[in-house]
Amino acid sequence: MFHLHDKLKYFLYPAPVDMRKSFYTLSGIVSSLMKRNVQDGEVFIFVNRRLTTMK
């Protein structure tokens, strides 16, 4: 289940991502490509090419 909260910031990665990637690899995308800190308490959303899966 996916709930949105007013107190959190949400960031959607604009390109499709291979969902076989680990959370460590996704955190690398957040740090290097999105220029955000994964420990700031923000939420990062990744989707696959067909938009059927979300992490």
**How confident is the model at residue 6, as a pLDDT?**
87
Question: What pLDDT sits at residue 1?
Answer: 64
Q: Where are the domains of the chain?
A: 1-55
* Radius of gyration in angstroms for the set of CA atoms belonging to the chain, rounded to a whole number: 11
For the chain (length 55 residues), average pLDDT per consecutive 10?
83 95 94 95 95 93
Whether 47 contacts 16, CB under 8 Å: yes
- Tell me how far CA of residue 20 lies from CA of 14, 23, 34, 39, 42, in angstroms: 18, 9, 20, 22, 22
pTM for the whole structure: 0.84
